[in-house]
Structure 1
Amino acid sequence: MGGNSALRPFAPLVGVPDFKAYVEQYPGTDLTDDALYYLGRCYLQEKEYALASAQFDRLLRDFPTSPLQADALLELARCDDLQSHPAPLDQTETERALTRYNQFVEQYPSHARVGEAKARIQALRDRLAEKLLLSGRLYRKLSKYTASEFYLKRLLHEYPDSKWVAEATRLLREVAARRGRTESIEAEKKNPPARTGQEPKGKPDERLRGVQTSKSPG
């Protein structure tokens, strides 16, 4: 079961119909797990990701002692990875792929494809970090500084190895400076200083609006 020995009996089988027929006709043989794996790979090549995932899922569930367990888990992660979206969009598939890649690396640290999985882990972590960066940047432009800080600090805490750390750090400093200016004017509104004859130009409300509506850099 599994391994290169499976290539000989499956040599004449060249695509989805053949492997699908084998799985349906021989659901419990020593080569059924191999057939499921190759059927999943065929669906993957045809970009039928849901069908591919179903084959790898079945292999993992029904054949726990198969030597193809590791490869099936990696291919399942790839199915999610290939369905994932750029950072501005929903990241459900990205997170699911990341979970499965991490599971693969933890369970099979000596597997020949661990390097491939680790490379994808870093790429997906960078994408999730970018998602947080985009949120932080958006809230900064909207002058929602507390929300902006929340997302930027999450990025630094959860993805300290991300390529976006330097950008997040820079934005966080800008946001902190802007928050300080805004809070200073708010405090002045509540507790106006004694008149000195050298009052700053403009009422506090007007100056606050100026801070909040000024164009953000970047």
Structure 2
Amino acid sequence: MRLPLFIILCFTILLSSCSQYQQVLRKDDMGKKYALADSLYKMEKYKKSLKLMEQLVPVYRGKPQGEKLMFIYANTYYNLEDYYLAGYQFERFAQAYPQSDSIEVASFKAAKSFYQLSPRYSLDQKDTDKGLEKLQEFINQYPNSEKRTEANALVAELRGKLEKKQYEVAKQYLRVEDYKAAIDAFDNFITDNPGSSYRKDAFYGRFVAAYKLAINSIPVLVQERLRTAKGYYNNFIKYYKDTDLAPEALELYQDIESRIVPLETEPNT
């Protein structure tokens, strides 16, 4: 069966294009490599362009053509979602060309690359911390940038992830019945995150942990710990008496009240 002429023509062009690319890639003509790399980059053929750029960057670093090349080199990694290398290369660009017209964009994309590396909240958050640091550096350096709104939104997202991580750790202590550790963890969360959306739940979790610690203590410690738990209930109800958790908190509080033995009045002297 004979192939249509159009398909044969397209196949021939494709083979010719691939052959041309391989020839340029293998030869030492840096001018042709540069032109082809730029052309492929504009056509969004990033993997092919990157192979050429890897040969070009050491040659052109420090030369006039190097500024554009280093920027699109970093941006190619970004477009290929290799965010480790994108962040590294954008930072190298910013250091090498501090007066470039592209410096602000490069600085933002460097910071956003580290944001992209942030894992889900349940994993180690080292990259989240680094992303926050880099984004804050960008906001401080370019307070009037058009990217400031987006940068602030990314900061809020990463902070929310860290809050969730810290809150879930405290909840885990409560689930495994390590009540002392849970109280400490909820305490730290409340102190560290005054505006958190998990704040109500942290106040409630601390109260529950204190209540369970008290009722599961040896007799000599029960009364003191019940009174401590009662104090945590008062802290919770001070801020969240009209919330969905208030009825559950009240039930525990009433049980505390039924268990507390009134302190003996000291005799007059």
Q: Same fold (TM over 0.5)?
A: yes
8 Å CA contact retained: 1:125, 1:162: no
Q: How does 1:94-113 map to 2 (within 5 A)?
A: 94-113=128-147
- Establish whether residue 44 from structure 1 lines up as the match of residue 71 from structure 2: no
Q: How does 1:11-160 map to 2 (within 5 A)?
A: 12=39, 14=41, 15-17=49-51, 19-160=53-194
Partners of 1:144 and 1:59 in 2: CA distance: 50
Tell me the alpha carbon deviations over residues 173-215 of structure 1, each in whole angstroms, 9 at most, x when there is no partner.
22232234345734269xxxxxxxxxxxxxxxxxxxxxxxxxx
Partners of 1:58 and 1:144 in 2: CA distance: 47
Larger Rg: 2
Partners of 1:102 and 1:83 in 2: CA distance: 16
State the 1:31 CA deviation: 4.6
CA RMSD of aligned residues (A): 2.5
Aligned to 2:237: none
Q: 2:200 aligned to 162, 166, 177, which one?
A: 166
Percent identity over paired residues = 22
Aligned to 2:260: none
Q: TM-score, normalised by structure 2?
A: 0.59
State the 1:148 CA deviation: 1.3
- Taking structure 1 as reference, are residues 154 and 74 closer, same or farther at Cα in structure 2, changes over 3 Å only? farther
- Taking structure 1 as reference, are residues 110 and 137 closer, same or farther at Cα in structure 2, changes over 3 Å only? same
8 Å CA contact retained: 2:136, 2:155: yes
Between stretches 28-37 and 71-80, larger displacement belongs to 28-37
Letter of the 1:103 partner, please give it. Answer: E
Partners of 1:107 and 1:169 in 2: CA distance: 37
Structure 2, unaligned stretches of length 5 or more?
A: 1-36, 42-48, 224-269
Between stretches 148-157 and 99-108, larger displacement belongs to 148-157
Structure 1, unaligned stretches of length 5 or more?
A: 1-9, 190-218
Aligned to 2:219: 185
Partners of 2:72 and 2:198 in 1: CA distance: 38
Partners of 2:93 and 2:71 in 1: CA distance: 7
**Using CA pairs below 8 Å that are at least 6 residues apart, which structure has the higher relative contact order?**
1
Partners of 2:146 and 2:195 in 1: CA distance: 24
Tell me the SS of whatever aligns to 2:39.
coil
Tell me the SS of whatever aligns to 1:12.
helix
Matched positions, count: 180
Partners of 1:67 and 1:137 in 2: CA distance: 49
8 Å CA contact retained: 2:215, 2:222: no
